[in-house]
Chains A and B, each alone.
Chain A
């Protein structure tokens, strides 16, 4: 059985993939986006964001790319890879199953 932190990590991964589905973003933008969509339910701290990003990158689901901003600063933004798209679809299905299964349990007598 996986410890609870794994579930959290897994969820964060799913959220990051979903955030990157439309366009590449850099670290701060990803955190902002998650916070914005969840209306502040989830705030993503750097301490969990960056490990999650690098894990996803190492596993090949997202790819980091360096670019230079107008201000002349190098920033690293991430985009979803084809493997990441597949992974997102799979995790989505898995998440739906979990939600409906947990729902069933909660609604039973």
Chain B
């Protein structure tokens, strides 16, 4: 069949429909004239002849309609006409259109924004080469309360040499180093194995990543910069590769700059921040480090085609082999766990994100119900028009198409506006997000996100458009043209609307209860006593550079004295780590019996404290004494243990005066013997909600760490002391790098930041949900009042009291509300059960929470009924009777 005439015909149908119709008219008229003439020739009078001719062709317009139906492009033409019609309808009622489009835009925008985050973090592959082959290897030390522990240097070598399913393993450990140029600065450094970046497949913007030839004995001589440091500190110098800078006072050559979009996305508990400034290589002798010195976070790249299960078995087997090969693992042996890097890197954020996605999905549902309700109401108002169309022979398919076109046009407008809302929403989301969720910046509104959002919104759009058809089907049945059309249109559509609004209330109940549970979780976590007090304490980090330990200690003593003496200061102390900020961590084995190997000994976090630090931080001393100035390098090594160490080591006696073998000076063996002088309450310094590891405290004067965190206690706003602090520091040494300046409480806030962020979003969603549901209730009740206006007037005329009319209106609202709330409570209970991993200190069915949520909704619902009720009360009997 020839193609060209068809295309031409299609085009004509679309563009010259009117001329085609005129021609057809003329052609048909000619036909009728011919027939009439023929009949007249047979002796029939002109009028009868014409009537007969018309009767024979079976109606002029029907023929025309049938001819139009065979036209190529007929469907497209009608659809275009429907679009034009729908557009005029929308423009004719701007209030309705604006309400529907805005509601949809809100729902779509929120969904798209959250989904872009979910896509960027959970779905999009990690930004590394062939990321599905990357795994993270943990050591399982669950018996020591440490299920996801790091590995040691020799163990990394074991994995490399004994495994059979891997291309290779790499390791990282976060530390700090001083950039000792004109303006000294402390950098967050990732110490890596030479193949770490080639295993990840990380691209560079300039130069290269590390190669084996860069490996040296002793301090590293090369450095790889992050794009952020390169921009901030080196002005994006394009010729930087090969230049030398001073790191920790040593000339170090820059091998390259990582690509701008490169981010390290390690699991959050791997103690590897996303925003390291630069990278350096481990010492060449890493494989000969003590086997018990565990600090490496290990990634591996599986060989192509190796399934994860096989790799897991392989790594587990290596663990068993070395458990047998090295006696000092003892009876417990060594256990390794292998997990896919993609899944593990988002382990902590997945739950909250999915909860948020669920919440916005419900929000969209609520928004769509409002729009559907508006459409149904409008369809009801147009009952007469529809009835007329049906009477004139419009088929079901025709009506369906017209409503689809209207609904989809509305959806298209809503979706377009929604994309704008999504842009703003995502920006607002990122602005609201805590800095600890920096990887949220991976969220973009890109093609997959837009496609998914549009698919969902148009699926809803189709349902929305069909909803009013329930009404039209009924009209076909009753042939409504004979009925009082305005009345006929009310009951059926109204029932459907009521069901939708009831469902909407139920959905809002789910969001309100979910949000309240998250709020209470957040408050519960805030209320936890972590074992220290951060109120009024200002903190900052200092890296002291001194030729030897005695000089360094002298600087520290001087610092502490000066800071304590500042006006407004109520004391100052130094600690090796800020709470909740264990990067880089410091820890090691401890034992009460000599001859124990590091690998079998329990592990603890080590912390060093200056005299007065425990008191300043409000850590509770249970027994013995705190550190004093006398615990200095000349005195025997002393330690303070936490309640966990005490309970594990000396369950039934006092630890005071006991000797404890530790590895403060990192020799790989717990053979430096310290005398226990005190016992303190365990401090939750890693996470506010769990006790993670045992803790050992050493005197800063005996076990000096650099850099140190200084804490200054003040009476009021802690940050106000900083100018005085800076002056004091300048007086001691103007080149001292001071950084991470912040109130100590900020660390705790950061630890709770994800929870706070989730809670805030949930509250916002819940408020929007209640508002939308209130609008829905208002719409339905107002509609009823409008229809029953005459009835109310008559009732008033017959002497009905205000309260009686009010009760009539309230009854409908009350039924909707109570059914919705009842159903919603059930849904909420199910939802809360599903999200209980996000809850803390509160059960999913906490009665108090439910008891708070319900009045909120009832109040909102009552307010929504109030406005229409006022109109009902004001119904004027005279008007009502006159209208009849």
B243: Cβ under 8 A from any A Cβ: no
In angstroms, Cα B61 to Cα A50, docked, is 12
Q: Which of B33, B57, B58, B67 contacts A73 (CB 8 A)?
A: B33
Is A83 a contact of B2 with CB atoms below 8 Å? yes
- B66 closest partner in A (C-beta): A51
A24: Cβ under 8 A from any B Cβ: no
Is B2 a contact of A60 with CB atoms below 8 Å? yes
Select the residue from B5, B6, B71 with max chain A CB neighbours within 10 A: B5
Interface size on A, residues (CB 8 A): 22
In angstroms, Cα B30 to Cα A106, docked, is 44
Q: Which of A26, A27, A58, A73 contacts B6 (CB 8 A)?
A: A58
Output the least CB separation between A75 and chain B (Å): 5
B62: Cβ under 8 A from any A Cβ: yes
Output the least CB separation between A90 and chain B (Å): 10
Main secondary structure of the interface of A (DSSP, over half): helix
B70: Cβ under 8 A from any A Cβ: yes
Digit string of B271-284 for contact with A (CB within 8 Å is 1, else 0)?
00000000000000
Chain A residues 68-109 with CB under 8 Å of chain B are: 73-76, 83, 87
B35: Cβ under 8 A from any A Cβ: yes
In angstroms, Cα B876 to Cα A60, docked, is 68
Contacts of B66 in A (CB 8 A): 47, 50-51
Chain B residues 46-80 with CB under 8 Å of chain A are: 56-58, 62-63, 66-67, 69-72
Chain B residues 1-44 with CB under 8 Å of chain A are: 1-2, 4-6, 9, 13, 23-24, 26-28, 30-31, 33-35
Is B2 a contact of A46 with CB atoms below 8 Å? no
Contacts of A52 in B (CB 8 A): 70
Is B23 a contact of A50 with CB atoms below 8 Å? no
Is B70 a contact of A28 with CB atoms below 8 Å? no
Contacts of A28 in B (CB 8 A): 30-31, 34-35
The answer to whether A26 and B67 touch (CB under 8 A), given A45-B58, A59-B1, A59-B2, is no
Q: Which of A47, A55, A58, A87 contacts B58 (CB 8 A)?
A: A47
Chain B residues 525-568 with CB under 8 Å of chain A are: none
Contacts of B63 in A (CB 8 A): 46-47, 50-51
Is B57 a contact of A47 with CB atoms below 8 Å? yes
Is A75 a contact of B70 with CB atoms below 8 Å? no
Contacts of B56 in A (CB 8 A): 45-46
Q: Which of B5, B23, B31, B58 contacts A27 (CB 8 A)?
A: B31
The answer to whether A60 and B58 touch (CB under 8 A), given A46-B31, A51-B69, is no
Main secondary structure of the interface of B (DSSP, over half): helix
Is B2 a contact of A26 with CB atoms below 8 Å? no
Contacts of B24 in A (CB 8 A): 50, 54
The answer to whether A74 and B26 touch (CB under 8 A), given A46-B57, A46-B63, is yes
Contacts of A26 in B (CB 8 A): 30
Contacts of A75 in B (CB 8 A): 27, 30
- B73 closest partner in A (C-beta): A58
Output the least CB separation between B39 and chain A (Å): 13
Output the least CB separation between A23 and chain B (Å): 18
In angstroms, Cα B26 to Cα A40, docked, is 27
Contacts of A74 in B (CB 8 A): 26, 30
Select the residue from A26, A50, A59, A74 with max chain B CB neighbours within 10 A: A50
Is B58 a contact of A59 with CB atoms below 8 Å? no
In angstroms, Cα B66 to Cα A45, docked, is 13
Is A27 a contact of B35 with CB atoms below 8 Å? no
Is A54 a contact of B4 with CB atoms below 8 Å? no
Is B5 a contact of A50 with CB atoms below 8 Å? no
- A26 closest partner in B (C-beta): B30
Select the residue from A28, A45, A54, A83 with max chain B CB neighbours within 10 A: A54
Is B27 a contact of A60 with CB atoms below 8 Å? no
Is A76 a contact of B23 with CB atoms below 8 Å? yes
Contacts of B58 in A (CB 8 A): 45-47
Closest 9 interchain pairs by CB?
A60-B5, A46-B57, A58-B9, A55-B70, A28-B34, A83-B2, A51-B70, A51-B66, A60-B2
List 9 A-B pairs, Cβ < 8 Å. A47-B62, A50-B31, A50-B63, A54-B24, A54-B71, A55-B70, A58-B70, A58-B71, A60-B4
Query: A46-B57, A54-B70 are known contacts; what are 11 more A-B pairs with Cβ within 8 Å?
Result: A27-B27, A27-B31, A45-B58, A47-B62, A51-B66, A54-B67, A58-B72, A59-B5, A60-B4, A60-B9, A74-B26
